Amino acid sequence: MTNIVHALAAIAQAVQQIGPPVGPGGPGGPPPGFSFTEAFVQLVQFVGYFLAIGAVGFRYGIVRRVRGMTEDARNILRPDNAALLGILGILLLAPSFLGGPYLASITEHKTFAEALPKNPRPLEFKLAVLGLALIGFLLVRLNATLGWMIAAVGVLFAVLQPLYTGRLAGKVNAVHILAASTWLGTLLVLAIVGIRGVIRSATAGRERAQLVADLINSFSPLALTAATILALTGLTTAWLHLKRISALYTTSYGITLLIKLFFVLIVVLLGAWNWRRVRPSLGPEGSEFAIRRSARLELTFAALVLIATSVLVTLPSPR
């Protein structure tokens, strides 16, 4: 947690030093409108989405696409492993949704009930479908098919709720979060449950390497589709918020966006490298370790993207 706070502070201070020296901290301080607490709550929410959506993506986008798995492979990739990460995601999402009203109650000296939105139905709906998703993940051990179906419905309704209650920017952002979580969240679960689980198993080296290759080959179409949607929704979101090109280098929001895009570019380049160079080399014994290293590097920069995004969403849009 200390490392996360330091990373948030470093990005916030970098924005202020590059951008106009105005705001509560003066030069070197946090940019106007930035709140460490709010950024941390947003970061928790993003991580929750990554884990919950990533677990569903791993189940339906990877495991179900792998054909001819042996009994050992089924034991390594058993559904409840990914479901545990999905449960953790739900447990992070629920308090993060309540974090906004809680922070407002503190800053505005109100009771928590008074700080809740005037129309609480969207929040109540999100919490209800998160409860449904939690039930689904818990049911996976008893009935994998039914449990995953319920979990998927709950998670998708939670992330896409703004599509039928929010404004255009909220609708685009919901799809953006879904695409990012489908790509990088599924990669996270794949790295933890799939690649790590296979490498730590007692499976023979050749068979182990081939199983990792099958997992990566199943993940590639999902990642390419999600990355394409992510790029389109990201450009749309930037256009809706920036309003003018000069805002990219004259406002804290624009500079933070540039920092985020820098990290995104690195993630995209690493993903392209994994797809074009590492993936075709998988299969021979020992090749599974190469993809584990490259996946870790990709996820490291994905974490920086999340941190930069957490700073970005706390900043006011340019006027």
Q: Is residue 89 part of a domain?
A: yes
CA-based R_g, the chain, Å: 21
Candidates 8, 95, 2, 65; CA nearest to 216 is 65
Asked whether residue 319 is assigned to any structural domain, the reply reads no
Burial class (CB in 10 A: 0-12, 13-18, 19+), 69: middle
What's at 253, amino acid-wise? Y
Task: List pLDDT tens digits, range 130-163.
Answer: 999 999 999 999 999 999 999 999 999 999 998 8
pLDDT at residue number 243: 75
Residue 181 lies in a domain: yes
* Domain contains 257: yes
96/90 Cα distance (integer angstroms): 10
Write the pLDDT tens digit of every residue in 289-318. 888 999 999 999 999 999 999 988 888 877
* Nearest alpha carbon to residue 47 among 281, 309, 227: 309
Please indicate, yes or no, if residue 60 is contained in any of the structural domains: yes
Domain CATH for 105: 1.20.1630
Answer whether residue 291 is part of any domain: yes
What residue numbers bound the domain in which 300 lies? 2-312
CA 89/CA 189 separation, integer angstroms: 11
**Per-block average pLDDT, block size 10, for the chain (319 residues)?**
55 54 48 74 94 96 81 78 95 86 66 65 88 96 94 96 82 94 96 89 74 90 94 89 80 89 93 88 84 92 93 83
**Domains in the chain, number:** 1
The verdict on residue 318 lying in a domain is no
| Assigned domain for 259 exists | yes
Q: Tell me the C-alpha distance between 312 and 319, whole Å.
A: 15
pTM of the model: 0.86
Helix, strand or coil for residue 233?
helix
**The predicted structure's pLDDT at residue 102:** 66
